Structure 1
Amino acid sequence: MKITDSKQIATYYKALVEKNENFVGIFFVGVKTTSIFCIANCRARKPKLENVTFYTTFKEALSEGFRPCKICKPTQNANQAPKEVEKAIELVKQNPKEKISDYRLKENDVSAKVVRNWFKKNYGMTFHAYQRMYRINTAFQELQSGKQTTETAFEIGYESLSGFGYTFKKIMGNSPKNSKTDTEKTTVLISRLTTPLGAMFVCATENGICLLEFADRKMLETEFADIQKRLNAVILTGENKHILQAKKELEEYFEGKRTVFEVNLEPIGTEFQKMVWEGLHQIEYGKTRSYQEQSEHLGNPKAIRAVASANGMNKISVIIPCHRVIGKDGKLTGYGGGLERKKWLLMHEDKYNPNKEESKNELRLF
């Protein structure tokens, strides 16, 4: 929301002038004279108090017509993990079987408080819960490969089999012993990434990407539950080759260097939904299609509402380009990530479209 309290405005303006790192992500400031918005630690010349407006989210700044600052990159860096947090995450990845204590963090010049606060705000869990998920994921993979439960438990830092068994069952929904033979259980890995449009979560099975959503999407918990139910899956923190490839391709996409995604996908939904999502793939980069045109393309011109509903249930944003479907009159309509993001994505693709001269995109962005 727009900040109107005078005391809060004074506090935020002081933080802006002092480039206070502690306020990064707490507020976004729109500069009326330049029509850009920034985060607290921006290095650009500071505007006068009467020329700024403060917001609690960057989506509000975008909807008010402000553009992201090219110096501080607010939509990306406001959600970027601080260096201390990145160092803590790297310690976990390098030592997947070890519990990283507060003392260990201190040895590596990392503040345990900073790490705890960031994880709670950006992951919705504690740093130690994140570690437990990572270690249990490692244990699950080893048990599946035939390793003994006792050996696995002690290697990942548990001092008793009962403690390991309790934690394992709580996260996996099954005991370590039964997990050895439970080949029907699917593991879905989840990781976080930052983009110019904010933080996103990406999930993948061993077959491909099954979810890519903005972290603030309201239906996110429902989508996680749907994936777990349909795949008989457990979602654990981690990365595989598909997630790493998706992160690389998304970075290239947002830099304007990629127009087609090549990462493997495993869309989770009904057969009708999958058919609609496959149709979305056929909308070329830099172009759009109305809901009616999409229905006609799928061979059922009267199924406009059903097609629109299936678009809204797409769990793999950006890569499956539901943002390229617009209203019949050329106006923007419906997008789970918010119309501001939809507008940004279409403008981004229009800017970097290699076949722009051939495009007859009549999108009304304003």
Structure 2
Amino acid sequence: MLFERPSDDLLYDALVARDASYEGFTWAAVKTTGIFCRLTCPARKPKRENTSFFETIAECLEAGFRPCSRCRPMLKLGEADPMVTRLLTALDTEPFRRWSEDDVVSLGIDPSTARRAFKRQFGMSFLEIARLRRMGKAAETLKEGASVLDAQLDAGYESGSGFRSAVTKLFGVAPANLRNKVLLRADWIETPIGPMMAIADQHCLHLLEFAERKALPAEIKKLQKFTGSGIVMGRHPPIDQIEEELKAYFAGEDRGFKTRIAGHGSPFQRQVWEALRAIPAGVSTTYGAVAAELNLPSSTRAVAGANGANQIAIVIPCHRLIGADGSLTGYGGGLWRKRWLLEHERRMAARDGG
């Protein structure tokens, strides 16, 4: 069975490995200290004989354990780091400011601490994110017909060559040529299992992927080539809409996803993706079953290929496909996320059905 409760020995191995796939579903309690922790807690690991496992925080508390002060298991899963939230709020207030480490210090935040937190959460530093926001403003200025010099100054670059180099590296085109570009916008969306990058135009969502997905840079380049668009940091309405829908989903509300999705992919791929969206939350099926449903029983491998080509994670639920033997198969966001999503949906469906 895919969702049988793992043995305590397996959970202990997960605790030692800080395996995030059980995050939010299992807590470890240490008999010698009287505390309970997330399985991802960075604290030194207890001995196996001193460790118990519970499925709910209530069980931990009822057994007399108190929450760990390091991993803070009582906080809502995926709650944002207050320091990260504060800096992002400041950036939203002044997105075109040329932020520096001195500005970070002026907010009472240690730059090295901020750098580590942002790298861990987003894969890039706060100052790098701020620079991307400035470059997005420059692209918008150019698109509105301003001179390259005006755009350069708006972005906070004193050096014209440095500005041209930065724009070309980021958008794959020289600054003057951005006037002819349709601009998509990209922004981060926080989720309990890691940040996602969303890219959209005014009308629909083009990409939604976990930020640490190894194939993400290649997917972005492919999207730029396919659409002939530039991509800048910022938001269009579909990103706000999908963020609200994801919040509901992770809160356990099965409302479905209404955000309009761009029509990328071949006719066959779109046919497979529609079949995936028809699979209810809490249900998993196989590649072969989808092929049979499409009246193409010999196309199991083609279905798998279409599944892997999906660039709209969760909304097009490629995580709901498993192997013919019931095992979890490859997932671009990581197998631990696939297991997490399936378990989350199983519990959501069980609650709704009960």
Which category of TM-score, normalised to the shorter sequence, fits these structures?
A: 0.7 to 0.9
Query: In 2, distance between residues paired with 1:122 and 1:25?
Result: 16
Q: Distance in 2 between matches of 1:355 and 1:120?
A: 36
Task: Quickly say closer, same or farther: Cα 1:110–1:214, change in 2 above 3 A.
Answer: same
Choose between structure 1 and 2 for higher RCO, CA contacts under 8 A separated by at least 6 residues. Answer: 2
Q: Structure 1 residues 101 and 327 mapped into 2: Cα distance closer, same or farther (>3 Å)?
A: closer
Contact 2:197 2:208 in 1 (8 A): yes
- 2:346 is paired with a residue whose SS is helix
1:34 aligns with 2:34: no
Q: Deviations over 1:176-216 (max 9, x none)?
A: 22222x23x54341324132x33333333344222222334
The 2-side partners of 1:327 and 1:173 are apart by: 39
Please report how far the alpha carbon of residue 261 of structure 1 lies from its aligned counterpart in structure 2 after TM superposition: 0.4
Specify every segment of 5 or more residues in structure 2 that has no aligned partner in the other structure, as ranges: 1-13, 18-29, 58-64
Amino acid at match of 1:71: M
Q: Which amino acid aligns with 1:193?
A: E
Give how far 1:89 is off: 1.9
CA distance in structure 2 between the partners assigned to 1:192 and 1:356 by the alignment: 26
Q: How far is 1:329 from its partner?
A: 4.9
Alignment correspondent of 2:255? 259
The whole-number CA distance in structure 2 between the counterparts of 1:28 and 1:247 is 36
Give the TM-score, by structure 1 length. 0.72
Partner of 1:231: 227
Residue of structure 1 in register with 2:102 after alignment: 103
- Match runs of 1:27-106 below 5 Å: 32-35=51-54, 45=66, 71-73=74-76, 76-77=78-79, 80=80, 82-106=81-105
| Aligned AA (1:194) | T
For residue 166 of structure 1, what is the amino acid of its counterpart? S
Specify the alignment match of 1:177 in structure 2: 176
8 Å Cα contact 2:254-2:281 kept in structure 1: no
Contact 1:36 1:69 in 2 (8 A): no
The structural deviation recorded for 1:2 is 6.5
Task: Assess, with a 3 A threshold, how the Cα gap between structure 1 residues 218 and 247 changes in structure 2: closer, same or farther.
Answer: same
Taking the aligned partners of 1:215 and 1:274, their CA distance within structure 2 comes to: 23
Query: Which 4+ runs in 1 deviate beyond 6 A?
Result: 16-19, 27-31
Structure 2: distance between partners of 1:254 and 1:118: 23
Q: CA deviation at 1:246?
A: 1.2
How many residues align structurally?
Answer: 315
Greater Cα offset, 135-144 or 214-223: 214-223
Structure 2 CA distance for aligned equivalents of residues 179 and 198 of structure 1: 32
Whole-angstrom CA distance in 2 between matches of 1:134 and 1:32:
47
**2:20 aligned residue:** none
Equivalent-residue separation in structure 2 for 1:156 and 1:215 (angstroms): 25
Aligned pair in 2 of structure 1 residues 28, 150: CA closer, same or farther (>3 Å)? Answer: farther
Kept after mapping to 2: 8 A contact 1:209/1:243: yes
The corresponding residue for 1:293 is: 289
The verdict on how the C-alpha distance between 1:356 and 1:3 changes in structure 2, with shifts beyond 3 A counting, is: closer
1:247-285 deviation digits (Å, cap 9, x = unpaired): 111110111223310112126433322221122112223
| CA RMSD of superposed structures (Å) | 3.8
